[in-house]
């Protein structure tokens, strides 16, 4: 794509919000509502969208982030069984094997064909002003075949773990808006919170239900031997200098993590090229209560002042 096409962008937005029928293949077979939780507290800290930092505070936080980004994490996960689910953060993040190498190549090629865009086009394509991600990725890439493929591979054990978390409704499927990203040497995505995705389902009787994502499913598409660096760094305590966890996945493995409150970053790739893809895991409709509102994209403390 050589330039920004406003009409095409609006069409993609309309496609993203287009309702789907109740029998859409991107949706999972109906699941019973999970039991009411005995403890509804989140394992992650509650973060505020409204914290206002002074220029001096922002400068200190920015320095703290980049200083610690170059340091080893408190904990690293890099070895996983293809036959079981690995808990990274109890109640909030897990790893499992999902795709074959052939499927990974198919997703990479599909993303490349759709078009990967760098940060120079970010504002024109609707990303937040001041975005400092440096890798290239797709924008509004509707890939329902991927949602159908991956949804059919999610094990019952994982669905049960997710449904034990907020908003305590059933898992309904994967949003068809997949981000395919390519990190080359020096590329990174500084600490941020993911935005929730929503979609409307038209029931058989014509009624509508709004599904909203609660977790991000992030799949590594590249073989680990083809690049260096590029870990996914989690900040489960909401701090850059304490309790930091790095996850380095083999090809075809996925990290599923809670969107609300999970500060995370894609660390810089040092050599080669790393491809990933991600989408939101959709949950059944729920009444929005204090502390249960969908996640909103924003950069980590101090990183939004550029």
Stretch 222-229: mean pLDDT, rounded? 98
Predicted confidence band at 3 (pLDDT cuts at 50, 70, 90)? Answer: very low
84 lies in some domain: yes
Stretch 106-126: mean pLDDT, rounded? 81
pLDDT of residue 120: 60
Domain count, the chain: 1
190 lies in some domain: yes
pLDDT of residue 127: 52
- Least reliable range by pLDDT among 8-22, 43-57, 102-116: 8-22
pLDDT of residue 6: 52
pLDDT of residue 194: 97
pLDDT of residue 15: 55
Q: Which CATH number is 160's domain given?
A: 2.60.120.620
117 lies in some domain: yes
Query: Pick the residue with more confidence: 73 or 46?
Result: 73
Q: Under a CB-based contact definition with an 8 Å cutoff, are residues 296 and 193 in contact?
A: yes
290 lies in some domain: yes
pLDDT of residue 4: 44
Query: pLDDT tens digits, residue range 253-289?
Result: 999 999 999 999 999 999 999 999 999 999 999 887 7
Range of the domain at 122: 49-299
Stretch 109-130: mean pLDDT, rounded? 72
Global pTM reads: 0.91
Predicted confidence band at 131 (pLDDT cuts at 50, 70, 90)? Answer: very low
233 lies in some domain: yes
13 lies in some domain: no
230 lies in some domain: yes
- Least reliable range by pLDDT among 26-35, 49-58, 147-156: 49-58
Predicted confidence band at 49 (pLDDT cuts at 50, 70, 90)? Answer: low
220 lies in some domain: yes
Mean pLDDT, the chain, rounded, equals 89
């Amino acid at each position: 794509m050589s330039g920004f096409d406003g009409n095409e962008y609006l069409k993609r937005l309309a496609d993203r919000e287009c309702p789907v029928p109740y029998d859409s293949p991107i949706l999972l077979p109906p699941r019973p509502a999970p039991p009411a939780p005995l403890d509804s507290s989140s394992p992650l800290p509650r973060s505020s969208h409204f914290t206002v930092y002074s220029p001096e505070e922002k400068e200190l936080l920015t320095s703290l982030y980049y200083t610690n980004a170059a340091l080893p994490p408190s904990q690293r996960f890099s070895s996983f069984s293809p036959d079981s689910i690995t808990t990274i953060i109890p109640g909030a993040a897990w790893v499992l094997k999902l795709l074959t190498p052939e499927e990974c190549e198919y997703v990479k090629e599909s993303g490349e064909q759709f078009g990967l865009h760098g940060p120079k086009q970010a504002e024109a394509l609707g990303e937040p002003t001041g975005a400092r991600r440096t890798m290239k990725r797709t924008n509004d890439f509707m890939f329902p075949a991927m949602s159908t493929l991956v949804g059919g591979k999610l094990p019952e054990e994982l669905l049960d773990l997710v449904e034990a978390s907020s908003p305590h409704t059933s898992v309904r499927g994967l949003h068809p808006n997949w981000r395919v990203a390519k990190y080359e040497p020096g590329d990174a995505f500084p600490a941020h919170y993911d935005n929730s995705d929503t979609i409307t389902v038209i029931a058989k009787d014509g009624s509508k239900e709004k599904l909203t994502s609660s977790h991000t499913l992030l799949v590594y598409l590249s073989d680990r031997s083809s690049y260096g660096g590029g870990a996914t760094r989690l900040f489960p305590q909401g701090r850059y200098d304490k309790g930091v966890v790095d996850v380095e996945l083999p090809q075809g493995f996925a990290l599923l993590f809670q969107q609300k409150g999970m500060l995370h970053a894609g660390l810089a790739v040092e050599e080669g090229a790393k491809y990933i893809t991600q989408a939101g895991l959709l949950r059944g409709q729920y009444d929005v209560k204090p502390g249960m509102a969908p996640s909103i994209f924003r950069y980590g403390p101090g990183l939004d002042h550029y």
